Amino acid sequence: MSCTEPIDRDSVRPRCRWCNLKNPLYVEYHDREWGVLNLNDRYLFEMLILESFQAGLSWECVLNKREAFREAFCGFDIDAVMNYDEEKLEALQKDSGIIRNRLKIRAAVTNAVVFRGIQKEYGSFAAYLKHYCGNQIRCEVGPTTNPISDALSADLKKRGMKFCGSTIIYAYLQAVGFINAHEEGCFLFPGEKESPTDAAERLALAEVSF
C-alpha cells in the first residue's frame, strides 16, 4: 500500500479482529504503522516506553493518549527523559493526559538510561535488536512470546530495564516490524513467509530511510 493512498475507514476492507473500526486512530495505526519495520532509534524508544505503559491495559488506551505521552516525554528525547528529576516525575504523576502509574513513570527514566547504554555498546538500539532478531522478519499469528522475546527480555532485565517481560517485548517486536502478525483474512496478512533475502533487503531499506 502506498504511503500516499488514502485510508478508507468506511470500506469493507478486512482487518485484524482486534482493530476497533470505530476508532480512526486505531485504524490508522493498524493500516500504516503496526508491523511496519522502523529502525529509527527515537521511534524504537518511543514504542518501548509506550509498550511498558500498556502492561495490564489495552493498547488502544495507550494509543489514545499517545500525543499526551509525546508531550510529557519531550517527544521521547532520550537524553531529556533519562535526566528527569524528582520534580518532573511528580509533575508527570499529576498529568491526567497520560497513564499516571508511579512505577511506570519512574521506570521510563530507568529504561532511558539502559537504552542509552545499549546504544553506546551496539552503536544503535536497532543494531541491538538485529543482534537477536537477525535478518529475518518473522510472520506468525497467535503466540504472545517466542524464544527471541524470551532472550531479549532476559537481557534487558539483566541490564536493569523495568516492565520488559517477554510478552511486552514480543508485542514490541510486532509493533516495530520484526514480527508481522497480521491475521489471515486481514488485507495486510503477509501470506507466504518472507525469504531471508527479502527480509535482509527490507532491513537494509529501513536503515537508510531514517
Q: CATH no. for residue 69?
A: 1.10.340.30
Could you read off the pLDDT of 74-88 as tens digits, one per residue?
Answer: 999 999 999 999 999
Please report which confidence band the pLDDT of residue 1 belongs to, taking 50, 70 and 90 as the band edges: very low
Which residue of the set 29, 43, 122, 132 is catalytic? 29
Tell me how many domains the chain contains: 1
What is the spatial distance between Cα 16 and Cα 165, in angstroms, rounded to a whole number?
Answer: 24
pTM, whole model, 2 decimals? 0.87
Active site residue 51: yes
Residue 194 a catalytic site member: no
| pLDDT tens digits along 7-17 | 554 467 999 99
Residue 152 to residue 159: CA distance in whole angstroms: 11
Give the tens place of pLDDT for each residue, 185-209: 999 998 755 555 455 555 554 554 4
What is the structure's pLDDT at 210? Answer: 36
Catalytic position from the list 51, 84, 128, 170: 51
Let me know if residue 16 belongs to a domain: no
| Residues 135-163: tens digit of each pLDDT | 889 999 999 999 999 999 999 999 999 99
The answer to whether residue 10 sits within a structural domain is no
Q: Give the CA count within 13 Å in the CB-facing half-sphere of 138.
A: 20
* Domain coverage including residue 128: 38-208
Q: Is 201 a catalytic residue?
A: no
> Contact 145/173 with Cβ under 8 angstroms?
no
| Residue 111 included in any domain | yes
